[in-house]
Structure 1
Amino acid sequence: MSMTAYRPLQYRAAAGFPLGPWGRASLQGASLCTCEKLLERSEETPSASRRLLCVSRATALNSQQVEALLGTSHFVLLLLPPSGVTLNATEAAEIREIEKLLLDRHSTAAVAFSRETRDATVLLERLNRDEEYDDAPARTRMLRPYLTTYTTYSQEWQPIKSVKGSTLTSWLHGQPGQDGSLPPTIVFVAHHDAFAAVPHFATGISTGGSGLITLLWLARELKMFYKREPLAYSVAFVLADASAMNYEGVADWIGRTDPRLLNATRYVLCLDNVASTALSLHTPKAYKDPEASRFMQMLESSLLEEGVQMSKRTKKIAIGEKVLPFWPHEHFTRAKLIAATLSAEPELKHLWNRSSLTDDSLNKEALVKTVRGLAEGTARFLANVEKPSTRLTFRGGEEAFDVFVSSWVKFFAYRNVPEYMSSPFANRIFVKSLSEEMENVGLSTELHEFDVDMGEFSFSYEPSVTIEVSETRPTFFDWLLLLGAAAYSFAIYLAIKGAMSTNILEGPSCSPAVSPASERGSPRANDTKTK
Structure 2
Amino acid sequence: MFEEASEVFDNMFKGSFPLTFIVFIPAVLILVSPLPIEAAHEFTVYRMQQYDLQGQAYGTRNAMLNTEARTIEADVLSRRCIIMRLAEFSFEKFQEAIRQSAGAIVIILPQNMSTMPQDVIQQFMEIEPELLATETIVPVYFALEDDELLSIHEQTNSASVSQGTASAAEVLLHTATANGFQMVTSGTQSKAISDWSITSLEGRLTGLGGEDLPTIVIVAHYDSFGVAPWLAYGADSNGSGVAALLELARLFSKLYTYKRTHAGYNVLFFVSGGGKFNYQGTKRWLEDNLDHTDSSLLQDNVAFVLCLDTLGNGDSLYLHVSKPPKEATPQHTFLKELETVTSRFPEVKFSMIHKKINLAEDMLAWEHERFGIRRLPAFTVSRLESHKNSLRTSVMDMRSQISIQKLCRNTKIIAEALARVIYNLTEKGAPEDLQIFTEQMQLQEDQLSSVLDWLTAQPRAAQLVDKDSTLISTLEYYMSRYLKDVKRHHVKADKRDPEFLFYDQLKQTMNAYRVKPAIFDLLLALCIAAYLGVTYFIAQNFGFIYNTVRRITLKPKQH
Taking structure 2 as the reference length, the TM-score comes to 0.75
Q: Post-superposition shift, 1:271? A: 0.8
Aligned with residue 165 of structure 1, among 189, 192, 198: 198
Matched with 2:29 is none
The more displaced of 75-84 and 488-497 is 488-497
Q: Note closer, same or farther for the CA distance 1:107–1:311 as it changes in structure 2 (3 Å cut).
A: same
Deviation at 1:84, TM superposition (A): 5.6
Matched-pair identity in %: 22
Q: How many matched pairs?
A: 484
Contact 2:217 2:269 in 1 (8 A): yes
Q: Of the candidates 37, 40, 45, which is equivalent to residue 5 of structure 1?
A: 45
Match of 1:522 in 2: none
Matching residue of 1:73: 101
Mark the CA change 1:142 to 1:292 in structure 2 (over 3 Å): closer, same or farther.
closer
Correspondence for 2:352:
312
User: What CA distance in whole angstroms lies between the structure 1 residues aligned with 2:535 and 2:438?
Assistant: 88
| CA shift for structure 1 position 207 | 0.6
Partner of residue 278 from structure 1, selected from 294, 304, 316:
316
* Structure 2 match to 1:515: none
Given candidates 216, 228, 235, the residue that maps to 2:267 is 235
Provide the residue aligned with 2:143 in structure 1.
114
Q: Indicate the residue corresponding to 1:363 in structure 2.
A: 403
1:284-363 correspondence to structure 2 within 5 Å: 284-290=322-328, 291-306=330-345, 307-317=347-357, 324-349=363-388, 355-361=393-399, 362-363=402-403
Residue type of the alignment partner of 1:245: F
Mark the CA change 1:484 to 1:76 in structure 2 (over 3 Å): closer, same or farther. Answer: same
Cα offsets for 1:109-160 (capped at 9, x unmatched): 3211222233322333333433442324534635752222131345222112
- Paired with 2:549 and 2:235, the residues of 1 have a C-alpha distance of 89
For 1:51-450, list aligned pairs within 5 A.
Answer: 51-74=79-102, 75-83=104-112, 85=114, 90-134=119-163, 135-136=165-166, 138-139=169-170, 141-142=174-175, 144-153=177-186, 155-176=188-209, 180-227=210-257, 229-257=261-289, 258=295, 261-276=298-313, 277-290=315-328, 291-306=330-345, 307-317=347-357, 324-349=363-388, 355-361=393-399, 362-385=402-425, 387=431, 391-395=435-439, 401-416=444-459, 426-427=468-469, 429-441=470-482, 443-450=484-491
Pair 1:126–1:57, CA change in 2 (3 A): same
Q: Structure 1 406/473 Cα, relative in aligned 2: closer, same or farther at 3 Å? A: same
Q: Is the 8 A contact 2:42 2:509 kept in 1?
A: yes
Counterpart of 1:449, as a letter, is H
SS at match of 2:47: coil
Residue ranges of structure 1 left out of the alignment (5+ in a row): 43-47, 505-531
Quote the offset at 1:377 in angstroms.
2.2
Query: Which amino acid letter does the alignment assign opposite residue 435 of structure 1?
Result: E
Q: Distance in 2 between matches of 1:264 and 1:156?
A: 51
Whole-angstrom distance in 1 between the partners of 2:306 and 2:192: 35
Q: Describe the shift of the 1:422–1:170 C-alpha distance in structure 2 as closer, same or farther (beyond 3 A).
A: closer
Residue 519 of structure 1: aligned partner: none
| Equivalent residue letter for 2:486 | T
Structure-2 residue corresponding to 1:466: 509
Which string of whole-angstrom CA distances, capped at 9 and with x for unpartnered residues, describes residues 352-378 of structure 1? 995212222233232122112222222
Q: Distance in 1 between matches of 2:410 and 2:115?
A: 21
The alpha-carbon distance between structure 1 residues 423 and 486, as it changes in their structure 2 partners (threshold 3 A), is farther
Q: What runs of 5+ residues in structure 2 fail to find an aligned partner?
A: 1-40, 290-294, 552-559
Normalising to structure 1: TM-score of the pair? 0.79
2: CA distance, partners of 1:424 / 1:224: 31
Aligned equivalents of 1:232, 1:69: Cα separation in 2: 62
